[in-house]
Amino acid sequence: MAERIVVVGGGFGGLLAVRGLRRANVEVTLVDRQNFYLFQPLAYQVATGSLSSVEVAVPLRQILRRQRNARVILGEVAGFDLEARHVFVTSLPNGGTLTLDYDTLVVAGGARYSYFGHDDWAPYAPELKSLEGALDLRDRILRAFEAAEVEQDEAARAEWLTFVVVGAGPTGVEMAGQIAELGKDVLHSEYRAMDTRQTRVLLIEATGRVLGAFPPSLSASGERQLRSLGVTPLLETTVVGIDASSVEVETSDGARSRIPARTVIWAAGVTASPLAGLLAAAVGAETDRAGRLTVEPDLTLAGHPEVFALGDMVTVRGLQLHGVAPVAMQQGRHAARSIRGSSRMPFRYRDKGELATIGRSRAVGVVKGTRLSGFVAWLMWLAIHIVYLVGFQNRLLVLTRWTFSYLTRGRGARVIHRT
């Protein structure tokens, strides 16, 4: 009888684990509450109209259609019984529940943004970790420009044209740069009653520099490129309040001020998927302050060598890893190799570098120890993201869209869905 593998989560880690088992004598069941795989690094381009949702999201069944030993179940995991080796699935499309038996379990639940105990801010400052969040943000951003067009009061119009991005990591920097380009380069010829080049983009960061995970020289380069786009970084500044029309901030010296703004994007801090807590409860373990579960060097749970946990929802004992897609992808491949083989080798991350795009022909990055900035870094970023996209059709569509946007400065996916 073939070994039964249950994989929870169809993101970077989970999908790579499933695909890594395509030639193994196993039966793989992939469980996810969504029926698609999202290429999350490009979600911000959906939010700013550069790409459409179908160009960054691919149905899981389509990806795995030729993998005969894999099936997909659309549902939500509600718990685990590690002693009996059961996974409990709820919210099935037919309204029912399901118990899955396994010989080996792989849990790759990822993470979501943390509001640091202020979940009441979420309605005013949506996140960008999900496709739903990206589409919601696109509607809000586009509606802000529409509102500014019909607003008669200059102060109120300025509120609509002020965009606040919280968090100056790669996602926040990319988002701020895209909004600035949208207002200054893309939309200014399309509106008649106001000038979109008056768009004001503020990037709030609690630390002393943007892109804090990058070397200081690249962080400084990134800040210069942001400012050249018209983005204003507010460093050593924390958010202390958000409502429908403003953001309250506090600087490092304790001074507080209120910024009138109608659109806020949250890209600061992450917390692990609730799946980490469910696993921790199943083994009687604790999670850290970010909700992450600690796993052994081989990515298994202590006392349960048949259970792998990976991605942003875990910390690996003895390693310090960033919550980036390449880590989850390599962990997924590692879990598949361990399942195919007879030994449990420690996970070793091969750091190939990191890139962050800021805008048209603007980016910074480190690739195999080489520091890049500006146009060269931007081309490298484009090439790497095309390579990592799933499916030839999506690669071709995104490459075509980017080429058109570069030549025309256009954004073709600017449709407001929610009125």
- CATH number at 86 reads 3.50.50.60
Domain around 98: 3-33+75-113+271-340
* Residue 93 sits in the same domain as residue 152: no
Which residues are paired to 233 by β-bridges? 203
Which residues are paired to 295 by β-bridges? 316
55, 127, 159, 174: the catalytic one is: 174
* Residue 26 sits in the same domain as residue 166: no
pLDDT of residue 419: 56
- Largest Cα separation within the chain, whole Å, is 72
Backbone angles phi, psi at 410, to 5 degrees: -100, 165
Secondary structure (3-state) at 6: strand
Query: What is the number of structural domains in the chain?
Result: 2
* Residue 129 sits in the same domain as residue 183: yes
The answer to whether position 411 is within a domain reads no
* Residue 162 sits in the same domain as residue 213: yes
The answer to whether position 388 is within a domain reads no
Backbone angles phi, psi at 251, to 5 degrees: -85, 170
The answer to whether position 226 is within a domain reads yes
* Residue 303 sits in the same domain as residue 252: no
The answer to whether position 40 is within a domain reads no
Give catalytic status of residue 83 as yes or no: no
Q: What is the DSSP string of 99-147?
A: EEE-SEEEE---EEE--TT-GGGTTTS-BSSSHHHHHHHHHHHHHHHHH
CA angle 154, 160, 162 (to 5 degrees): 100
Q: Is 289 exposed, middle or buried (0-12, 13-18, 19+ CB in 10 A)?
A: exposed
The position carrying tokens 């792998």 is 308
Beta-carbon neighbour count of residue 318 at 10 Å? 9
The answer to whether position 104 is within a domain reads yes
Q: Which residues of the chain have pLDDT under 70?
A: 418-419
* Residue 105 sits in the same domain as residue 129: no
pLDDT of residue 120: 94
The answer to whether position 350 is within a domain reads no
* Residue 217 sits in the same domain as residue 257: yes
Q: Is 320 exposed, middle or buried (0-12, 13-18, 19+ CB in 10 A)?
A: exposed
Q: Which of 268, 291, 307 is the last residue of a domain?
A: 268
Helix and strand totals (H; E) in the chain: 11, 25
Instruction: Give the domain CATH number at 201.
Output: 3.50.50.100
β-bridge pairing 3-8 and 104-107: parallel
Which residues are paired to 100 by β-bridges? 87
* Residue 126 sits in the same domain as residue 231: yes
Q: Which of 292, 313, 340 is the last residue of a domain?
A: 340
The answer to whether position 13 is within a domain reads yes
Q: Do 64 and 70 form a contact (C-beta atoms < 8 A)?
A: yes
Q: Convert the pLDDT of each residue in 260-277 to its tens digit.
A: 999 999 998 888 999 999
Q: Which of 248, 268, 288 is the last residue of a domain?
A: 268
* Residue 258 sits in the same domain as residue 199: yes
Secondary structure (3-state) at 404: helix
The position carrying tokens 């048949």 is 306
* Residue 314 sits in the same domain as residue 244: no
The answer to whether position 234 is within a domain reads yes
Q: How far apart are CA 112 and CA 129, in angstroms?
A: 6
pLDDT of residue 10: 95
* Residue 172 sits in the same domain as residue 305: no
* Residue 226 sits in the same domain as residue 293: no
